Structure 1
Amino acid sequence: MKALVVYESMFGNTEAIARAIAECLEADFDVTVADVRTMPPFGDTDLLVIGAPTHAFSTSRPRTRAHVTRKATIRARAFGIGVREYLEYAPWLTGVHAAAFDTTMKMPVLPGSAARKAHRRLRGLGCHMVAAAESFHVTGTTGPLVGGEADRARRWAGTLAGTVLAELPSRDAAGFTTVAVMTDAEPLRTQ
């Protein structure tokens, strides 16, 4: 099975969460981790995980990316596209299992979220959403991550994997799919 983890990251925090998620998924999936700027193809992905920083209560836009880059005291990665544009031009992804996450500052009430925006867009593209949108916290605009967030991301990825594995047919070492058949005979194997 294949998993694609796509992230948008300006200061490395969202990338760190994406890599922690991928690290956990590697136990059950052939995982590709890709920066959104590379416009990775969706291919025959079984699980798609999308991550982005929250900018102005949503996914970033060219204007918000430029604003953050100008305002930051450390050099941010400048790029022309983000998760918003990537998903805007995505093909129909009917049946693909998917989940979305973001990085954001921890505040008592935050009215918007890049993860929730990406979650709605993925659902609109026909994805089967396997978890609610998830937020991982940073201490400020440029980070760093709040302590323990990478571990929390690994645990979240474990729940994603468990959900997807429970819903997809299993394959044995020879590549055969095991299908549950309600008889006294052996399970049916197909390739």
Structure 2
Amino acid sequence: MHVLVVYESLWGNTEQVARAVADKLGSVGTVDVVDSDAAPITVDGYDLLVVGGPTHAFSMTRAATRAEAVKSQSALHEPARGIREWLNLLGRPSAAIPAIAFDTRVDKPRMPGSAAKAAKHELRSMGFGTTVKQETFRVHGYEGPLLDGELERASAWADEVIAALGLGSRADR
């Protein structure tokens, strides 16, 4: 099992979630964790794709929302290529592989929209298997930190993914 985890992170919260998910998925195979700026534009050779990013303006970020986050919210990092742009560059998979999506979102005020839901829809339209429900992880304010227990929830969600996709552990294989 070879897993690709692609994340976009402005304050580091989404990266933390991506790494927690990757750590758990490491129990079933090799995991490559890369930010959206460095992500390959093919998934050939991978057996599972994980995509995560922050929710901005009710969906995946855009160049303008990332720039605004840096300007008005002092985001630490402004990706040149977010998950939206990366998905637009990504070629269709040569074989049907499963893909899962997650996002990070401010806890209060609760806002509608989801980067994960939008990413899942895009992945499905590209031919990826998207049977596993997307997940949201909450942060305090725009910059975070993550709410208490969110990294543990990310690990538990990865366990649910393993079970839902029938991946089992290395020991089971």
| Same-fold call, TM cutoff 0.5 | yes
Larger RCO (alpha carbons 8 Å, 6+ apart): 2
Give, in whole Å, the separation in 2 of the partners of 1:67 and 1:81: 15
Distance 2:43 2:29 in 1: 15
Matches within 5 A, 1:83-162: 83-93=83-93, 94-107=95-108, 109-162=110-163
- Give me the whole-angstrom Cα distance separating, in 2, the residues matched to 1:19 and 1:109: 25
Secondary structure of the corresponding residue to residue 128 of structure 1: coil
Give, in angstroms, the shift of residue 39 of structure 1: 2.5
RMSD across aligned positions (CA): 1.8
Identity of aligned residues (%): 40
Which amino acid is 1:126 matched to?
G
The equivalent residue for 1:60 is 61
Deviations 1:17-37 (A, max 9, x none): 000000100111211111111
What displacement does 1:130 show? 3.4
Please tell me whether the aligned partners of residues 5 and 22 of structure 1 are also in contact (alpha carbons under 8 angstroms): yes
Q: What TM-score does the superposition give when structure 2 sets the normalisation length?
A: 0.91
Q: Secondary structure, in 3 states, of the residue corresponding to 1:85?
A: helix
Q: Is the 8 A contact 1:47 1:164 kept in 2?
A: no
Shift of 1:155: 0.4
| Alignment check: 8 A CA contact 2:108 2:141 kept | no
Aligned to 1:30: 30
Question: What 5-or-longer segments of structure 2 have no aligned partner?
Answer: none
- Equivalent AA in structure 1 for residue 10 of structure 2: M
Q: Which moved more, 1:34-43 or 1:135-144?
A: 34-43
Q: Is the 8 A contact 1:3 1:46 kept in 2?
A: yes
- Deviation digits for residues 86-128 of structure 1, max 9, x if unmatched? 0011111251111000000124753211000100000001111
SS of equivalent residue, structure 2 residue 166? helix
What is the Cα deviation at residue 166 of structure 1?
A: 5.2
**CA offset digits 1:57-79 (Å, max 9, x no partner):** 11000000000000124x52122
- Cα deviation code 1:29-64 (max 9, x no counterpart): 211111111022412111101000001111000000
The runs of at least 4 consecutive aligned structure 1 residues that moved more than 4 Å come to none
Q: 1:8–1:36: 8 Å Cα contact kept in structure 2? A: yes
Aligned to 2:12: 12
Letter in 2 for 1:31: V
Counterparts of 1:166 and 1:39 in 2: how far apart (Å)? 24
